[in-house]
Amino acid sequence: MPETSQTETRQIRGTRRERHVCPWWLGYFLASPLRRLLENPEQIVGPYVREGMTVLDVGPGMGYFSLPMARMVGEDGRVICVDIQGKMLESLRKRARRAGLLGRIETRLASESSLDLDDVSGTIDFTLAFAVVHETPDQTLLFGEIQSAMKSSALMLLCEPTGHVTRQDFDETLAFAHGAGFETVQVLKMKRNRSVLLRKKTPSPMRQNP
């Protein structure tokens, strides 16, 4: 499967925005320990991840959040990392092996048209989508696939960088998420990011005929 071009720019369905996929080599900067000074993974995802959980990391890059989440889920949990760039996942696996966490981490190379999560449908306890949604060509499809993979009432943390995503862009993204069956639980304050905690809506009970 061909890797996504680093310079590729394309229109996102339903919006006027252009899309830039993060080049794989930038993954090294994103995974740098110095980033902790600005974005501390334990503080950002710590409130939502518990031992034994199955966590989905969409667009994990080289695993800046995946490795801390693998520590948080413990030996009985797992973190499923889905990215469209094999080089990101290769480096993520190397880092996980060095940290002794590879047994809790599963990497999946996705295509742009699907995250290929059918086999884990309804099993995900928590999803992180950090700085990835604005890179995807079809947000309706993306949120729909994530929603199907999640357990009912499970939480998703959605964070988008203010440098790439305007308030209006983010509102459009939220509309796509709501349309796919998520509701907003809380708008979070996070430096350099627009951030929101979403919940997969439970299906409403069937109306009884009188």
CB-nearer residue toward ligand SAM: 88 or 150: 88
Tell me how far, at minimum, the Cβ of 202 lies from ligand SAM, in Å: 26
Closer by beta carbon to ligand SAM, 82 or else 165? 82
Q: Which is nearer to ligand SAM, 111 or 202 (CB)?
A: 111
- Looking at the chain, the number of H-run helices and the number of E-run strands are 6, 9
Contacts with ligand SAM by CB under 6 A lie at 21-22, 30, 58-61, 64, 82-85, 88, 110, 112, 130-132, 135-136
Looking at beta carbons only, is 112 or 199 nearer to ligand SAM? 112
For CA atoms 99, 160, 76, 180, give the dihedral sign: negative
When CB distances to ligand SAM are compared, the closest residue is: 59
Residue 54 CB, nearest distance to ligand SAM (Å)? 18
Residue 111 sits at the vertex; the CA angle it makes with 105 and 116, to the nearest 5 degrees, is 55
Containing 141, the helix (H) or strand (E) segment is: helix 139-149
Tell me phi and psi for residue 191, to 5 degrees. Answer: -60, 140
Do the Cβ atoms of 60 and 92 come closer than 8 Å?
yes
